[in-house]
């Protein structure tokens, strides 16, 4: 807590882009945060999927303190150890050849879209500039990433976008037709996060791979929310056995520090050359050290633990969906799961908030959980108890 700020004081001059909840969070430990009045909340949303090591993680803290006591930020004009080690380890883990480091998911996608167009230019097909994306997809708020985000309400206030065609996930014919039109790239989330925790079926993911290969379209998987170990594997698409040309990551890979990664293989890995793209902060020593700490923890057993927690969460949420008439079904995988509660997901979020649990909605009707990977057994049990309690206050669907 800054010395200038009393916990109860409101000094907020940030723009009104969020409807923020009232309390001022003051401290955190593990999966818990505490507000200025001392009320504790179980954090089942981890900064919308970013703070995968929770709060006050000792090894993350030690790594960052060590970095802060040594080499600071040097920009991408110079080489540094943490960035290079992270680039190597992320490529190894994703089967990619090279990475561009950005600061966020939107920026990672921005790099991916530019990269796709550059590949088409290098192939002698500069006319291939269009983009194909899926209904329900969310890729960010910068102009490029917004252009391929399907929610028209997010795009409409801002005028002209990049040319994009949206197809329904599962509509193989529409996808085929859109790719025949020779776009630069197809971008999709293997599990749509903001779109309501919708998993694309493995057959559709494989068809997307085959059709993009056949039509010379760059396939971009946006795993900003589903990647980084969150679903039990490092990438969600591993389960379908699909490797894209480009994959983007952000959120959990920095454990809360801002980092995004656009990873590419083959010709896409070498398409960008000096002057094509850049970032002052991208992949700096601090964010890279955080990324290395996350990978170390995943290697030391946390990845398996996410899988185990995910299975237990799925089982418990399925049972709740059976028991509570307000719930339509469970969705998602690993520590990216939620319940479809038509008409009442927001009420569930505020009920949980009052009960000391942080969660959020997705696509209006989904109560979404993106808990930190460091959730203990007791945390999980207590969280589920409180979710159960709130669900029992909601009206039945029929
Ligand atoms: C799948 C996906 N892509 C991109 C983004 C944008 O990431 P950021 O908010 O870090 O720019 C998000 C954010 O929620 C996301 O879920």
Residue-level pLDDT, tens digit, the chain, 398 residues: 345 455 555 678 889 898 888 788 999 999 999 999 999 999 999 999 999 999 999 999 999 999 999 999 999 999 999 999 999 999 999 999 999 999 999 999 999 999 999 999 999 999 999 999 999 999 999 999 999 999 999 999 999 999 999 999 999 999 999 999 999 999 999 999 999 999 999 999 999 999 999 999 999 999 999 999 999 999 999 999 999 999 999 999 999 999 999 999 999 999 999 999 999 999 999 999 999 999 999 999 999 999 999 999 999 999 999 999 999 999 999 999 999 999 999 999 999 999 999 999 999 999 999 999 999 999 999 999 999 999 999 999 98
Report how many domains make up the chain.
1
Q: Is residue 390 part of a domain?
A: no
Asked whether the beta carbons of 188 and 137 are under 8 A apart, the reply is: yes
Q: Is residue 53 part of a domain?
A: no
Q: Report how far ligand 1's centroid is from the alpha carbon of 154 (Å).
A: 13
- The answer to whether the CB of 193 is under 6 A from ligand 1 is yes
pTM: predicted TM-score of the whole model, two decimal places: 0.97
CATH of the domain at 157: 3.40.640.10
Name the 3-class secondary structure at 159: coil
Q: Is residue 255 part of a domain?
A: yes
Q: Report how far ligand 1's centroid is from the alpha carbon of 395 (Å).
A: 32
Computed on alpha carbons and rounded to an integer, the radius of gyration of the chain in Å comes to 21
Taking the C-alpha atoms of residue 74 and residue 78, their distance in angstroms, rounded to an integer, is 7
Name the 3-class secondary structure at 260: strand
Q: Is residue 356 part of a domain?
A: no
Domain coverage including residue 168:
73-295
Q: Is residue 345 part of a domain?
A: no
- Identify which of 336, 109, 385 has the alpha carbon closest to the alpha carbon of residue 220: 109
Longest dimension (CA), the chain: 62
- The answer to whether the CB of 32 is under 6 A from ligand 1 is no
Q: Is residue 304 part of a domain?
A: no
Q: Is residue 223 part of a domain?
A: yes
Q: Is residue 143 part of a domain?
A: yes
- The answer to whether the CB of 189 is under 6 A from ligand 1 is yes
* Cα→Cα distances 334→30, 55, 61, 285, 388, Å: 19, 20, 26, 30, 19
């Amino acid at each position: 807590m800054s010395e200038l700020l009393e916990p109860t004081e409101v000094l907020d001059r940030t723009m009104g882009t969020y409807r923020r909840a009232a309390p001022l969070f003051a401290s955190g430990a593990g999966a818990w945060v505490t507000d200025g009045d001392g009320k504790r909340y179980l954090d089942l949303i981890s900064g919308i999927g970013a703070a995968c090591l929770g709060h006050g993680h000792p090894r993350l803290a030690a790594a960052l303190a060590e970095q802060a006591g040594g080499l600071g930020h040097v920009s991408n004009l110079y080489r540094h150890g943490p960035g290079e080690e992270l680039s190597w380890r992320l490529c190894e883990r994703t089967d990619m050849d090279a990475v561009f480091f950005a600061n966020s998911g939107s920026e990672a996608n921005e790099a991916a879209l530019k990269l796709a167009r550059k590949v088409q230019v290098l192939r002698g097909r500069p006319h291939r500039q269009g983009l194909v994306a899926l209904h329900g997809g969310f890729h960010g708020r910068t102009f490029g990433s917004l252009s391929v985000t399907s929610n028209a309400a997010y795009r409409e206030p801002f005028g002209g976008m990049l040319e994009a065609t949206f197809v329904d996930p599962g509509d193989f014919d529409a996808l085929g037709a859109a790719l025949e039109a020779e776009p630069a790239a197809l971008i999709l989330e293997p599990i749509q996060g903001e779109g309501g925790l919708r998993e694309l079926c493995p057959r559709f993911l494989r068809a997307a791979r085959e059709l993009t290969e056949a039509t010379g379209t760059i396939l971009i998987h946006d795993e900003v929310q589903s990647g980084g170990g969150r679903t039990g594997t490092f990438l969600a698409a591993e389960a379908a056995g699909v490797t894209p040309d480009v994959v983007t990551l952000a959120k959990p890979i920095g454990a809360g520090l801002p980092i995004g990664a656009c990873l590419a293989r083959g010709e896409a890995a070498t398409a960008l050359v000096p002057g094509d793209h850049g970032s002052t902060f991208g992949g700096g020593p601090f964010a890279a050290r955080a990324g290395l700490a996350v990978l170390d923890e995943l290697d030391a057993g946390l990845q398996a633990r996410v899988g185990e927690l995910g299975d237990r969460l799925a089982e418990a949420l399925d049972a709740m969906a059976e028991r509570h008439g307000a719930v339509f079904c469970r969705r998602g995988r690993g520590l990216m799961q939620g319940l479809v509660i038509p008409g009442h997901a927001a009420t569930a979020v505020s009920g949980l908030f009052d009960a000391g649990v942080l969660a959020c909605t997705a696509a209006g009707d989904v109560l979404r959980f993106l808990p930190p990977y460091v959730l203990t057994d007791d945390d999980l049990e207590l969280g589920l108890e409180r979710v159960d309690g709130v669900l029992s206050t909601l009206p039945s669907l029929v």
